[in-house]
Amino acid sequence: MARARSSGDALAALLALSGAVAVIAGAYGTHGASGKAAEWLSTGSLYQIVHAVAGLAILARSRGTAALFLLGMTVFAGTLYAMAFGAPRWLGAITPIGGLSLILGWMWLAMGYLKGK
């Protein structure tokens, strides 16, 4: 009998796919883009890959942290990627919201450890 998929499985799959997107963005930033676009792709890729790996590493312990990481990297890296491909620069004003989500994820994780959870 097949095991029912849990929301943790879906979150893990999204985190893993996010890692793949980070590698693609980083590769394109290195080999296909130039100037500010290359910088945005590089920065987004770095933050995305770090948080994809961290999210997968702590998923069993803290789904909330993993979800905040996924949200944060999607907004943070996503707005940088969009601008790299020609989206309006006002999206840069939204990028820090993703960064805040990443910070909150790390704080949530720290609180969990401090509380012994």
Q: pLDDT tens digits, residue range 28-72?
A: 999 999 999 999 999 999 999 999 999 999 999 999 999 999 999
**Which pLDDT does position 1 carry in this prediction?**
47
Distance CA 69, CA 15 (A): 9
Burial of residue 117, with CB atoms counted within 10 A of its CB: 0-12 exposed, 13-18 middle, 19 or more buried? exposed
Q: Are 28 and 40 in contact (CB under 8 A)?
A: no
Whole-model pTM: value is 0.91
Strand locations in the chain, DSSP E? Answer: none
Distance CA 89, CA 7 (A): 35
pLDDT at 111 over 50: yes
pLDDT digits 0-9 by tens, 5-32 = 677 799 999 999 999 999 999 999 999 9
pLDDT band at residue 3 under the 50/70/90 scheme: low
- Smallest Cα–Cα separation from 117: which of 64, 68, 67, 75? 64
